[in-house]
């Protein structure tokens, strides 16, 4: 019997450099496995905070395993659910 592989979500985000304090928006998201029920919140140009609120909810069960800010206006986040 095969062991179940973890679900992974990689999100690339950016903020508008011309507007101070602008919200972080999703540029692209890649799901390996399953991201139910948060799949609709992972759309390009969606708010990163909305997607993270769904994914990090206790009932959904994702956890941030890696976070990297590549500059002052963009970065990426990797989340995993076992």
Give the three-class secondary structure for 3. coil
Tens-digit pLDDT profile for residues 33-64: 999 999 999 999 999 999 999 999 989 999 99
Contact call for residues 50 and 41 (beta carbons, < 8 A) = yes
Q: What tokens does 61 get? A: 């069960």
The SS3 assignment for 49 reads helix
**16-26 per-position pLDDT tens digit:** 999 988 999 99
């Amino acid at each position: 019997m095969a062991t179940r592989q973890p679900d992974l979500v990689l999100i690339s985000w950016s903020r508008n450099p011309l507007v101070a304090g602008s919200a972080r928006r999703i540029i692209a998201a890649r799901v390996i496995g399953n991201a139910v029920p948060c799949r609709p919140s992972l759309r390009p140009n969606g708010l990163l905070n909305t997607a993270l609120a769904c994914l990090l909810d206790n009932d959904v069960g994702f956890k941030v395993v890696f976070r990297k800010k590549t500059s002052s206006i963009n970065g990426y986040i990797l989340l995993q659910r076992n």
